[in-house]
Amino acid sequence: MCKLAIDKTSLASLLALTLAVVGNSFLHFTHNASFGSEIAQTNEPERVPDGKVVPVNGKVNVRLTNKTNDRLFYQVVGQTDRRILTENSTVALQALKLPASILFRRQDAALLRVSLKPVGEGTVEVRLDETNDLGLDKKSLSIGKDGSLFLR
């Protein structure tokens, strides 16, 4: 058996470092979704929004339309579980609290082109189409408190 000489200060430093690393690794699992959206909003680079919707009482409606020939998975972070949107169908997401982030993925992991169209006060249509252009591929929509729409 080999004995390693470690003084109390070194041991305390090693333990503190280990706890800090483990704590940071699980940060996104232990904090609620609103914390994550606050980080996303504050880290949003200054850029021109991809669109704008006028919120009503701090909420918006989103009409999500799948124009692909495959099922999509989508989720409103912190507001819904992961759901399925079948091919060539539409779902209405009502009264989403702002800020909001909507994630979407094709079942086959192919690329998505997203187009936005305000269709009235408090409502935006999000149309998801197939594309082969990597430059057009989008995976999420962030909606700011002021109704600014950012595609990523």
> For 103-134, what is each residue's pLDDT tens digit?
999 999 999 999 999 998 999 999 999 999 99
When pLDDT is averaged across residues 71-89 and rounded to a whole number, the result is 97
**Among 7-11, 35-39, 94-98, 148-152, which stretch is predicted with the lowest mean pLDDT?**
35-39
pLDDT above 80 (res 142): yes
Q: How confident is the model at residue 7 (pLDDT cuts 50, 70, 90)?
A: low
8 A C-beta contact, residue 102 and residue 126 = yes
The amino acid at residue 101 is: S
Instruction: Name the CATH code of domain 48-151 (choices 3.30.505, 1.10.150, 2.60.40, 1.10.8).
Output: 2.60.40
When pLDDT is averaged across residues 82-91 and rounded to a whole number, the result is 97
pLDDT one-digit tens code per residue, 11-55? 444 444 444 444 443 333 333 444 344 444 545 557 899 999 999
Phi, psi (degrees; rounded to nearest 5) at 78: 80, 0
When pLDDT is averaged across residues 75-97 and rounded to a whole number, the result is 97
Match 């305000």 to its residue by tokens. Answer: 118
The two three-digit tokens of residue 33, written as one number: 């979704």
Torsion, CA 152, CA 146, CA 42, CA 33, rounded to 10 = -80
Those residues whose C-beta lies under 8 Å from the C-beta of residue 19, and which sit 6 or more positions away, are: none
Phi, psi (degrees; rounded to nearest 5) at 135: -70, -20
Higher pLDDT, 80 or 47: 80
8 A C-beta contact, residue 28 and residue 97 = no
Distance from C-alpha of 140 to C-alpha of 129, rounded to nearest angstrom: 14
8 A C-beta contact, residue 102 and residue 150 = no
